[in-house]
Amino acid sequence: MADALKPPLQSTVRPSDREPSQDDLEKLRAWHEERLQRKLRGEYESQQLHLGELVNDTLDCPVRIASVKVHGATHTSETFLDWLIRPRLTSPDAHSTLHSVLQTTRGISHSLSATDLFRTVSARIERSPQGTPGDVDLNFTVTERGRFFVKTATEIGNCEGTASITARLTNILGRADTFAFNSSVGTKTKRAFDASFSLPVSPSLSTTAFLSLTGADRELGVQGGLGREERVTIKAGLRHGGDGLENGMHELTAEALWRSIGNLAPEAGLGIRQSAGPALKAALAHRWTLNMLNDHITPSKGALMRITNELSGPTAFWKTEAEAKRGWALPRGSTLTLCARSGLLQVLAGDSDSLHWSDRFQLGGPLSVRGFSADGMGPRQGTTSLGGTIYYALGLSLLSNIPIRPTWPIKLHTWVNVGRLQDHNQDVRSTMHTLLTRPSVSAGLGLVYRLDPIRVEANVAFPLVAARGEGLRRGIQVGIGLEML
């Protein structure tokens, strides 16, 4: 038979596992690399399986933690790390097993990550060289984040321009502390600054103490008698919890405020003139926030609730505000948002005429009831807004994709706003009847641009119903803010 074979002979090798032709070296090389990667993945998964079985079979073995060390935390205080880690450790007299050691390791890793000081956190469980049999050392290797951040920005909209600088210093004391400073200048808010310092006061990191100093010098516009207001506030407080938690976030603060209204126009109303000049205010406030929204700009599910209570003097009054928001997902990437806000101010000693103009509620503008001038709703004296002691505002917004550009951060916006601001009297029934039966209404459409964490709106507004004298804003209205109705 061999004598019957005559060259050249054809290859009889059958390609296995989709092997490419020997002539295409590039495809052949890629095929071999893919086979090698599959083999390595298979070996890795097999080792993982065997390791899991080994760990599960030895979870009840007695193992004790001899020491915990954190490597790479060059700017973080060892005292702070010990304060953070110690609550996670079990008592030396308690029965310790491999299972409890693994849980402790995971808990310490979570605590280190929750400080937001480290970019990476990795853990190793090693036999203790100086301990007795069964003793292990927990070694954590971390990579610290940068401690300094500076940012500048400019914002233009609604006939106002602002330039700002933001600086943040973290872990200066080595205790997960944060010092933040923000300063801005603009056409309406002439000068503003905000400096704050915060640090955790509980090993769980759920409670934070903070101290802040803020100041602003802003024009009050036509609604404020064309005057200017300067204010400086010092505030100290505690913050417990956070967004996304079932119990929400509590914030308790004490503040002292100095403010001064001046440079009023001759036609400014008597209500704001009574508040002209320097004035002091002290207040205790509590705010509870439950935020379960999946997105703060275009929420498609979840809800937000916020309740604020404030007790102030020397004109003693109690002030409460509530806000609720709900989002729904609609077909084709659209979202529907319903937002409601309300507030009540009750004077505890004296009458409402003794209230400072800045303490009264103001309503209207691109961040609240659109289609009205900023602070342009409610009781008035001529062109000057007096503010009010009770209000409510409702907003229904529909955001949808631009048909030809569904992936753009710009969305189509259709909305309806309803609200009213007034003073309340002793006749609760009469107050509520007027409040609910004489609302101001506006509607419009426009565009929303997502510029995290800021929302930018450009709307064409149509005021539909308004009380006598309220400042209307027909046509294009631009708004820039973190939260809008």
Q: Residue 462: which residues within 8 A CB-CB, separation 6 or more?
A: 371, 442, 443, 444, 474
Which range (187-191, 211-215, 315-319) has the least confidence? 187-191
Question: Which of 80, 109, 144 finishes a domain?
Answer: 144
CATH number for position 89: 3.10.20.310
Q: Indicate whether 136 belongs to any domain.
A: yes
Cα–Cα distance list, 122 to 145, 147, 273 (Å):
15, 20, 63
* Reported pTM: 0.80
Number of domains in the chain: 2
In this prediction, residue 18 carries a pLDDT of: 65
In this prediction, residue 250 carries a pLDDT of: 93
Statement: residue 362 has pLDDT above 80: yes
Statement: residue 237 has pLDDT above 90: yes
Q: Indicate whether 168 belongs to any domain.
A: no
Statement: residue 264 has pLDDT above 90: no
What 8-state DSSP symbol labels residue 376?
-
Residues 40, 38: Cα–Cα separation, whole Å:
5
In terms of average pLDDT, the best of 32-46, 74-88, 340-354 is: 74-88
- Number of residues in the chain: 485
Q: How large is the average pLDDT for residues 412-417?
A: 93
Question: Which of 122, 144, 166 finishes a domain?
Answer: 144
Q: How large is the average pLDDT for residues 43-60?
A: 66
Q: Indicate whether 92 belongs to any domain.
A: yes
Q: Amino acid identity, residue 69?
A: K
In terms of average pLDDT, the best of 1-15, 152-166, 355-369 is: 355-369
Q: Give pLDDT tens digits for 382-399.
A: 788 888 899 999 999 999
On average, the pLDDT of the chain sits at 84
User: Checking phi first, is residue 174 left (phi over 0); if not, alpha (psi -120 to 50) or beta?
Assistant: left
CA 304, 305, 311, 313: dihedral to nearest 10 degrees?
Answer: 40
Question: Which of 144, 167, 186 finishes a domain?
Answer: 144
Statement: residue 23 has pLDDT above 70: no
Q: Indicate whether 90 belongs to any domain.
A: yes
What 8-state DSSP symbol labels residue 352?
G
Q: How large is the average pLDDT for residues 298-317?
A: 90
Statement: residue 337 has pLDDT above 90: yes
Q: Give pLDDT tens digits for 89-102.
A: 877 667 778 788 88
* Tokens encoding 48: 């993982």
In this prediction, residue 473 carries a pLDDT of: 84
Band (pLDDT 50/70/90 cuts) for residue 236 is: very high
Statement: residue 180 has pLDDT above 60: yes
Range of the domain at 468: 286-481
Q: Indicate whether 201 belongs to any domain.
A: no
Q: Which of 367, 373, 368 is nearest to 472 (CA)?
A: 373
Residues 245, 451: Cα–Cα separation, whole Å:
25
Residues 481, 153: Cα–Cα separation, whole Å:
14
Cis peptide leading into residue 409 (ω within 30°):
no
Unique residue bearing structure tokens 């872990």: 171
Q: Indicate whether 190 belongs to any domain.
A: no
Q: Give pLDDT tens digits for 286-304.
A: 999 999 998 888 888 889 9
Question: Does residue 291 contact residue 307 with C-beta atoms inside 8 Å?
Answer: no
- Enclosing H/E stretch for 449: strand 440-451
In this prediction, residue 7 carries a pLDDT of: 59
* Tokens encoding 78: 């060892």
Statement: residue 25 has pLDDT above 80: no
* Percentage, residues of the chain above pLDDT 90: 28
Neighbouring-strand partners of residue 288: 250, 307
Q: Indicate whether 234 belongs to any domain.
A: no
- Sheet with 118-127: strands ordered across: 64-71, 135-144, 118-127
Neighbouring-strand partners of residue 422: 390
Question: Does residue 131 contact residue 161 with C-beta atoms inside 8 Å?
Answer: no
Q: Indicate whether 290 belongs to any domain.
A: yes
Q: Which of 386, 323, 394, 392 is nearest to 359 (CA)?
A: 386
